[in-house]
Structure 1
Amino acid sequence: MTPEQRQRIIEILLSGGEVAPEWSRILFPPEKREYELVYQGKEREEDIIANTLAVPLQPVRTFNKNGVTWHNKLIFGDNLQAMKTLLEMKRRGELCNADGTSGIRLVYIDPPFATRQEFQGAQDQKAYQDKIYGATFIEFLRKRLILIRDLLSDNGLLYVHLDYRKSHYIKVILDEIFGEQNFMNEVAWCYGERELATRHWNRKHDNILVYAKNFKSDQHVFNWKEAAGQYSQGTLAKYEHIDEDGRKFQLRGRNVKGSPWRGKHGIPLDVEAANPEWVYRDYFDTKEGIRPRDWWSDIPFLNRASSDRYDYPSAKNPALLNRIIKVSSNIGDLVMDAFAGSGTTCAVAEKLNRRWIGIDCGKLAIYTIQKRMLNLSEKGKALKAKPFTLYNAGLYDFARLKELPWSDWRRFALTLFSCQSAPQRIGGIQFDGTLKASPVIIFDHRKGNGATVSEETLRSIHEAAGSKVGTRIFIIAPAMAFDFQQDYIQIGEVRYYALRVPYSIIHELHQRDFLALKQPTDEMAVNDTVDAVGFDFIKTPELEYAVGRGNPEGELLEQAFIRIDTFFSEAAVREPMRKRGNRETLSMVMLDYDYDAENDVFDLDEVFYAEAIEGAAWEVRFPANRPGEKVMAVFLDIYGNEARVVIPAAHFALEKLEKRNGSPIAKTEAKRA
């Protein structure tokens, strides 16, 4: 610290001001390194881990149950918070590989490449903002790489898929996190597409950086034969002879220097007959293939028409993940993708008999993966995925939570507010845990006779234990169980905090303000970085809609439509005071044209983004012949909340609808939450 910096800190403290977070690296410098990447907003590793909430995983639904104890995991939520929870599961011994090693064997991530740098203003301003955006992306990814390192098994591997835009920065960050000695390879995935550039070299490869948790131990899985290259036709032609068992071979000189036999057909068979001691048979079936290289040109880029794309932006070729997973994991090992996207990693891991964890903050990704896993096939043959559970992490359904058994509710409540479980009795009062070294009581809302937490309740606690517990006590309970509105009530020297589920957050208890898990409103935003903080609770949007069919202006074919008349929603916790206009919070509408009501499975067929819906007069339009018996429509808001409706196909039929403004309309209002 320089004398000037020291003096500035003193002035801030004497004036009663707050020390900005940027001072943390000066006051608490990180471990000295020979070099490191420095940029605005870079946090200490210790602060990242300490300030990341380990949000509980709330099961939503398990598919394909069969009685096994392990269920693969599909997690909707911010991957940073979800991985903090997974890290605690690892510490409890709940994440193990086929050989019993703790942690995740293989992590593959294909993070957003930080491409949306659209800013207004002068050129100099844009250049500066581009740097700020770049630093934000680097720190966004760095936080997640730190958690991934800790999640990996001691012999685990990480593959980070990038492109030319940020790979050089991320390489430096990875060296800092994993250690330069644990860098294994940079794989160049070369693919062929149309080559249109005439003012620069056509960009035809991605960069995949490979790191080991502990490379020098040489314990990592690397099944190289799974990626052995094919021999060229010229090499194959040399094995021109066939023995009595049908095995191909070529003759090679024994203890012969140089190449005394040269020619188009190699050593002839009569040499073996005349002088067998001079030659030996080199059989083709003993060859293991060409040793794998870090330059892959045999896996093409998925074109837009490919069925493996699932209409998802940035979907990767399954052959790419097939190679990575086969080489760097064994059957039964754990494979994770923290930016799961279209679910290629999950689907390939499933087919290769690996266990998997997929995390994504987008509902479109979650429904795409759900559809993919429920419709698996291999070479045209249908496959049934092993059991997998869909979880919410950071966005919860309180209606389900309040029905949990007491032990599960207690565990959830403690985890939700980052409390430590520490049951104890003080002054005859049962405490359940601690938060910031202060005791926590979890109120049993299931008690009969309308039991509530009132000021009298707090005074009773204070009389029994107040003088023995310090200056703070936290009480966790459903919001309706509190008889007072304040965040805390002061009794003597003790402050009693009300931690309400689900409606309020005491922001002074957290290092960061809570940020919403935003959903995209157009296709270009699907792969934007999302850095959510904290948690929220599902609050079903208010929805009014109309359905019908007709011929839009300029269209020859008749179309069915769903018109959105009213759509209001809000974040229950993260933006409680923000009121938005009609349809302002709409993210997208997802349709299942032939909804399976019997099994209650939403099978995503098509997605319509809010930007396009607005441009079509707030109508979702599709061919009139698409609906089966029933259509399920999922109206998603920007916070991840859903309004779901099932529309019988008959409602789109002309004879079933009334006329309004020359168009057949059927009007419906969804139930409000």
Structure 2
Amino acid sequence: MNHLHYGDNLAVLRNAIADASVDLVYLDPPFNSNASYNVLFKGPSGSESTAQIEAFDDTWHWTDAAEEAFGDVLRSGNGAAAEMLRAMRSFLGENDMMAYLAMMAVRLLELHRVLKPTGSLYLHCDPTASHYLKILLDAVFGPKSFRTEISWRRQSAHNDAAQGRKQPGNVRDIIFFYSKSNDWTWNWQYTDYDESYVEKHYRHIEAGTGRRYRLGDITAPGGADPKKRNPFYEFLGVKRYWRYSEERMKELFVEGRIIQTAPGRVPQYKRYLDEMKGVAIQNDWTDILPLHAAHAEKLDYPTQKPVALLERILSASSNPGDIVLDPFCGCGTTVHAAQKLGRNWIGIDVTHLAIGLIEKRLRDAFPDVAFTIHGVPQDIAGARDLANRGRTDKKYYFEFEKWALSLINAQPGNLGKRGADRGIDGNIYFGKTSRAIVSVKAGDNVGVSMIRDLVGTIQREKAEIGVFLTLTPPTKPMVAEAAAAGQYEEDGFAPVPRLQIVTIEEALQLRDRAVRLPARRDDTFKRAAREKDGKAQGQLDL
């Protein structure tokens, strides 16, 4: 049961996720930090391309949607959440922060609903709104359901003083941990001992094996009650009350676990470092490093979190086979960690960019992964439906365009303004410096003039190849005009058509193989490393 949903997570939660069906929720929503995050695509030289597409705008405003969300909370039946949100509005007014809180509150109510009684929720945020979010969580889950506030160091120290900042530098994120009841799933996690601790306490090294160990006391108090006190006997010439029976003590001595460092000294127990679990996790996480450009798992998504961070959360608060939900799944780190650890998962995101990236990431990391995608066209009928909606609603026009480009792994080539793309809807980079321009057409009235226009765009942009990606099959004159554009050749590779017509139906079947390139293409996003644990089984269900 693995499901990836495109759409507004509020609608998906209400329509597709049953009551008490989820074991663990992790959410990393936009932080309301007044930042606008753009995914910047890379050109063939590795530099940032001028082509970019906004992944999401981390800014909220008081609109009709915010008013509707506020009303939904008041009508929810959760009196504590309603009263708390009403009090916040009285204090804050109708501003961006209040809009953010109203949007979050109505979603938190749904997340509480879908959690099992043994389930937990982790909300990842920053200090911008964390104080308000904790109050909302207390209202929705109940203050007694608060477990802890985790601090994760998301970046190393930086010199804010040089920039004139008059407060400490902010290098941490906050993760709130709540449970739905007092009977929640929990598995202790452990971290390695500090090196200085090991050197001080495990200073002995066993000859022959090289194993580190420390010596521990095995004496015990006697006590006045003979039924309760520990056994007293002589062992290796030393009379004491001991922690173990005389028979067990002899067994441990034969096994080499009891040693006497000198005649007459009290025997001690040999405790090996490699048998210790480590330090039980606390709520200050500084050992999981943030992602930098050099990290192999970095996918160039602006808010990507390390897989190790999600592995710790999932390992602590879920078990293999449990269902994990991420309603703001972004580039898919949660579903990646869930797949790796043998959990079932549900991911939701509101951008085709994210859905396409997650699909690619999962196929790269787990080649045999099985999951179902909801809310995006899965066949030619679905593609036509999305295109038809785009004829009356501009939003769906751009959604069709972005979805179509994702099929062939092309970078979006405009900034979301119809008519401003100069004939360039997308780009595919290949070889060292080569480029293919993509033109997407969702209408029925395609003709030979569009092929001529694309030829002109190729010439103007000095591109090597043009791709005409069309929902409607081309006419014979279009095919002939495309053939007249000739072939493109690159040393060491077979020639390919300079202008290629690819139908959406072909792209659905062949994906990026639908475009013929003479050299290796550059991926729109970096390729996720293949996982080696082999836990993902089955076939991709589209």
Q: Is the 8 A contact 2:414 2:426 kept in 1?
A: no
Task: Indicate which of 278, 288, 295 corresponds to 1:299.
Answer: 288
CA RMSD of aligned residues (A): 4.6
Q: Which amino acid aligns with 1:333?
A: D
Checking the alignment, whether the CA contact within 8 Å between 2:8 and 2:349 is kept in structure 1 is yes
Distance in 2 separating the partners of 1:80 and 1:310: 27
The alpha-carbon distance between structure 1 residues 241 and 188, as it changes in their structure 2 partners (threshold 3 A), is same
Per-residue deviation, 1:621: 7.2
Tell me the matched-pair count: 373
Change (3 A) 1:129 1:285: closer
Q: Retained in 1: the 8 A contact 2:191–2:279?
A: yes
Matches within 5 A, 1:551-630: 569-571=391-393, 586=398, 602=407, 604=409, 606-610=411-415, 617=422, 619=424, 625-626=430-431
Q: Is the 8 A contact 1:76 1:366 kept in 2?
A: yes
Identity %: 26
Change (3 A) 1:397 1:270: closer
1:369 equivalenced with 2:358 (yes/no): yes
The question of whether the paired residues in 2 share the 8 Å contact of 1:191 and 1:301 is answered with: yes
1:539 corresponds to 2:387: yes
TM-score by length of 1: 0.48
CA contact (8 A) 2:216 2:268 kept: yes
| 1:138 and 2:127 are equivalent in the alignment | no
Where do residues 55-74 of structure 1 align in structure 2 (5 Å cutoff)?
A: 71-74=1-4
- CA deviation string 1:95-152 (max 9, x = no partner): xxxxxxx621111000111133599xxxxxxxx9996111111111111111111111
Kept after mapping to 2: 8 A contact 1:591/1:604:
no
For 1:327 and 1:353, how far apart are their aligned partners in 2? 14
- Tell me, yes or no, if the aligned pair for 1:591 and 1:606 is still in contact at 8 Å: no
CA distance in 2, matches of 1:399, 1:338: 27
Distance 1:283 1:401 in 2: 62
Corresponding position: 1:230 with 2:189: no
**How far off its partner does 1:170 sit?**
0.6
Find the residue that maps to 1:273 and give its secondary structure. coil
Deviation at 1:589, TM superposition (A): 5.9
Contact residue 590 and residue 608 of structure 1 kept, 8 A: no
Tell me the distance in 1 between the aligned counterparts of 2:121 and 2:262.
54
Residue 386 of structure 2 contacts residue 400 of structure 2 at CA under 8 Å; is this kept in 1? Answer: no
| Residue from 315, 322, 346 that aligns with 2:335 | 346
Aligned partner letter, 1:153: K
Aligned position for 1:108: 26
List per-residue Cα deviations over 1:355-394 (Å, max 9, x = no partner).
1110111111111111111111xxxxxx32431011118x
Residues 192-591 of structure 1: pairs in structure 2 closer than 5 A? 192-193=155-156, 195-198=158-161, 199=165, 200-214=167-181, 216-217=182-183, 220-224=184-188, 227-237=189-199, 238-239=201-202, 240-242=204-206, 247-255=211-219, 272-275=261-264, 277-304=266-293, 306-376=295-365, 383-392=366-375, 399=381, 538-540=386-388, 569-571=391-393, 586=398
Distance in 1 (CA, whole Å) between partners of 2:467 and 2:320 is 53
Residue aligning to 1:463 = none
The normalised TM-score by structure 2 is: 0.58
Determine which of 15, 18, 22 is the counterpart of 1:85. 15
**Matched-pair contact (CA < 8 Å) for 2:301–2:331:** yes
Residue by residue, what CA displacement relative to the aligned partner does 1:266-291 show, whole Å, maximum 9, x if unpaired?
xxx99533135353323323422111
Q: Distance in 2 between matches of 1:286 and 1:667?
A: 60
CA distance in 2, matches of 1:308, 1:401: 32
Residues 586 and 610 in structure 1, CA contact (< 8 A), matched pair in contact too: no
Query: Aligned equivalents of 2:403 and 2:16: distance in 1?
Result: 32
Question: Could you say what secondary structure the match of 1:371 adopts?
Answer: helix
Show the counterpart of 2:483.
none
Distance in 2 (CA, whole Å) between partners of 1:77 and 1:359 is 7
Quick one: structure 1 residues 292 and 209, their matched pair in 2 at CA, closer, same or farther if it must change by over 3 Å? Answer: same
Relative to structure 1, the CA distance from residue 243 to residue 213 in structure 2 (aligned partners, 3 Å threshold; closer, same or farther) is farther
> Does the aligned pair in 2 maintain the 1:539–1:570 contact within 8 Å?
no
Rate the CA distance shift 1:138–1:620 in 2: closer, same or farther, 3 A.
same
User: For 2:433 and 2:122, how far apart are their aligned partners in 1?
Assistant: 42
Tell me: higher relative CO, structure 1 or 2? Use CA pairs within 8 A at least 6 residues apart.
Answer: 2
Deviations 1:507-542 (A, max 9, x none): xxxxxxxxxxxxxxxxxxxxxxxxxxxxxx62348x
Amino acid at match of 2:190: A
Give the 3 Å change call, closer, same or farther, for CA 270–671 of structure 1 in structure 2.
closer
Contact 2:437–2:467 (CA<8 Å) still a contact in 1? no
Does structure 1 retain, via aligned residues, the 8 Å contact 2:413–2:424?
A: no
Gaps of 5+ in 1: 1-70, 91-101, 120-127, 258-268, 377-382, 403-536, 542-567, 572-579, 594-600, 637-641, 645-650
Kept in 2: contact 1:398–1:538 (CA 8 A): no
Q: Cα distance 1:341–1:271, how it changes in 2: closer, same or farther (>3 A)?
A: same
Q: How far apart are 1:320 and its partner, in Å? A: 0.8
C-alpha contact (below 8 Å) 2:413/2:427 kept by paired residues: no
Task: State the alpha-carbon separation in 2 of the partners of residues 244 and 305 from structure 1.
Answer: 39
Contact persistence 2:218–2:269 (CA under 8 A): yes
Secondary structure in 2 matching 1:350: helix
Equivalent pair of 1:602/1:632 in contact (CA under 8 Å): no
Q: 1:620 to 1:311 in 2, by over 3 A?
A: farther
- 1:80, 1:270 → 2: CA distance? 64
Alpha carbons 2:412, 2:426 under 8 Å: kept:
no
Deviation for aligned residue 1:588? 9.3
Map 1:112-123 to 2 at 5 A. Answer: 112-116=30-34, 117=59
Report if the CA contact (8 A) 2:60-2:97 is conserved.
Answer: no
Distance 1:614 1:187, change over 3 A: farther
Do the aligned partners of residues 671 and 366 (structure 1) sit closer, same or farther apart at CA in structure 2, a change above 3 Å counting?
A: closer
Report the secondary structure of 1:375's partner residue.
helix
CA distance in 2, matches of 1:632, 1:625: 11
Secondary structure of the residue aligned to 1:153 is strand
Shift of the 585–211 alpha-carbon distance from structure 1 to 2, 3 Å rule, reads same
